[in-house]
C-alpha cells in the first residue's frame, strides 16, 4: 500500500519552491527545458488516444511545459483550454502569454482559453506534466484531477521516477553527504494510486533520459533550473564556496568516466494515462442516486461511449 505522502519529501521546502516568484511583467515566460522536452514527448502519446476532447485542462502550466501547448492546441484546434494554477495570477499571465492577438486570424479559429477550471466536472482531458514527484499530497492531487474530468475523460501525466539522479546520489553516498534529492515514487505505485482515486484502465510506462555535460558548472546550472533538494534530511543551511568547490571536484572524480568522457546525469521519466469511468449505480434493496449522476447516465445512454 503506497504511503499518502512521499516519506522523504519536506512539505515546507516543496511549498517554498512552488511559490518561487514569476518573471517580471514584460519578460517572456518559460518552463524548465527538461519539462518542455518531456511534454513534447508526452504529447506524441496522444496519437494512441481515440477521444477527441472538446475541452481540456493544463495543471500548473508554467511548470507543465509551455512548449507543448501550441502542439496540443494544433492537435485539438477547436477544444477549449482551461489553465489551472494554485496562484490565479500565474494562470492569467500564461493565458495572456499564449493567446493570439485579436488581429491574428487564428484567434477566431482556435478554442477559447480560460484562466480557471470550469465549475463542474467538464473537461475531457487533464494534462499534468512533471508535477507529481514534487507534490506533498499526491493522492489529493489525483482526486482533484478525477473530480475535474467528465465521465469518459482521460488523464495524461508524467513525473520523475526513482532511478533519477543515480550518478549524483552515488557521489553523495561515497562522500558521506545527505541525499541530493528526495526519493521518487515507482510507476507501479502510481498505478495503484490511480485506481484508488477512481480512475480506470491505467497504463504506465517509463523511459530513461541521459544528459551529458562538458563540465560540472553546466550540470549544476541545469539542476538549479529544474528544482531544489526537497529531502527532509538535506544539509541544514547554506554551504560555503569551499564546499561547493569540493562538490565540483567530487563530481569530476567520482562521476566522470575513467576515459575522461563527459559527465552524465540520468532521469527516469514515468508516463501514465487513465480514464474516468462512467458512474455506476449501486444496487441494493433501497438505492439512492445523486441527481447529477442520474442526468449524466441518461445523457450517456443516448450516445456511444468514447474510448481511449
pLDDT tens for residues 25-38?
A: 878 888 999 999 99
Model confidence at 300: pLDDT above 90: no
What are the residue ranges spanned by the domains of the chain? 11-165+182-211+270-300
Q: Give the mean pLDDT of the chain.
A: 87
User: What span, in angstroms and rounded, lies between the C-alpha atoms of 90 and 96?
Assistant: 10
pLDDT tens per residue across span 207-236: 999 999 999 999 999 999 998 999 999 998
Q: Which pLDDT belongs to residue 103?
A: 47
Under the banding of pLDDT at 50, 70 and 90, the label for residue 99 is confident
Model confidence at 106: pLDDT above 90: no
Alpha helix (H) residue ranges in 149-261: 166-175, 187-196, 216-226, 241-254
Give DSSP secondary structure letters for 29-85: P---HHHHHHHHHHHHGGGG-----SEEEEESHHHH-GGGHHHHHHHSTTSEEEEE-
**C-alpha separations of 13 from 67, 92, 110, 233, 234 in Å:** 27, 25, 39, 11, 11
Q: Which pLDDT belongs to residue 124?
A: 97
Model confidence at 1: pLDDT above 50: no
Return the C-alpha cell found at 213.
555535460
What average pLDDT does the segment 171-175 reach?
Answer: 95
Model confidence at 258: pLDDT above 90: no
Q: Which CATH number fits domain 11-165+182-211+270-300: 3.40.50.150, 2.60.40.650, 3.40.718.10, 3.40.50.10440?
A: 3.40.50.150
Model confidence at 308: pLDDT above 60: no
Contact indicator for 62, 69 with CB cutoff of 8 Å = no
User: What span, in angstroms and rounded, lies between the C-alpha atoms of 96 and 160?
Assistant: 29
Amino acid at each position: 500500500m503506497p504511503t499518502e505522502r512521499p516519506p522523504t519529501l519536506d512539505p515546507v521546502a516543496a511549498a517554498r519552491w512552488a511559490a518561487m516568484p514569476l518573471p517580471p511583467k514584460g519578460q517572456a515566460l518559460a518552463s524548465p527545458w527538461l519539462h518542455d522536452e518531456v511534454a513534447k514527448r508526452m504529447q506524441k502519446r496522444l496519437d494512441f488516444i481515440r477521444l477527441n476532447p472538446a475541452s481540456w485542462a493544463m495543471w500548473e502550466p508554467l511548470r507543465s511545459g509551455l512548449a507543448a501547448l501550441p502542439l496540443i492546441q494544433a492537435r485539438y484546434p477547436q477544444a477549449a483550454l482551461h489553465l489551472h494554477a494554485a496562484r490565479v495570477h500565474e494562470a492569467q499571465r500564461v493565458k495572456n502569454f499564449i493567446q493570439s492577438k485579436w488581429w491574428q486570424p487564428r484567434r477566431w479559429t482556435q478554442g477559447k482559453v480560460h484562466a480557471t477550471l470550469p465549475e463542474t466536472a467538464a473537461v475531457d482531458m487533464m494534462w499534468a506534466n512533471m508535477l507529481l514527484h514534487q507534490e506533498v499530497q499526491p493522492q489529493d492531487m489525483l482526486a482533484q484531477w478525477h473530480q475535474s474530468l467528465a465521465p469518459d475523460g482521460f488523464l495524461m501525466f508524467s513525473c520523475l521516477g526513482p532511478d533519477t539522479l543515480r550518478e549524483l546520489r552515488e557521489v553523495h553516498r561515497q562522500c558521506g553527504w545527505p541525499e541530493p534529492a528526495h526519493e521518487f515514487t515507482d510507476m507501479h505505485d502510481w498505478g495503484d494510486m490511480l485506481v484508488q482515486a477512481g480512475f480506470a484502465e491505467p497504463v504506465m510506462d517509463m523511459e530513461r533520459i541521459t544528459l551529458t555535460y562538458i563540465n560540472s558548472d553546466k550540470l549544476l546550472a541545469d539542476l538549479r533550473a529544474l528544482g531544489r533538494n526537497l529531502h527532509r534530511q538535506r544539509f541544514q543551511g547554506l554551504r560555503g564556496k569551499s564546499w561547493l568547490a569540493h562538490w565540483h571536484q567530487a563530481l569530476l572524480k567520482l562521476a566522470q568516466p575513467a576515459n575522461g568522457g563527459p559527465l552524465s546525469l540520468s532521469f527516469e521519466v514515468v508516463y501514465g494515462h487513465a480514464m474516468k469511468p462512467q458512474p455506476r449505480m449501486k444496487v441494493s434493496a433501497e438505492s439512492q442516486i445523486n441527481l447529477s449522476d442520474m442526468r449524466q447516465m441518461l445523457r450517456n445512454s443516448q450516445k456511444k461511449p468514447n474510448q481511449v
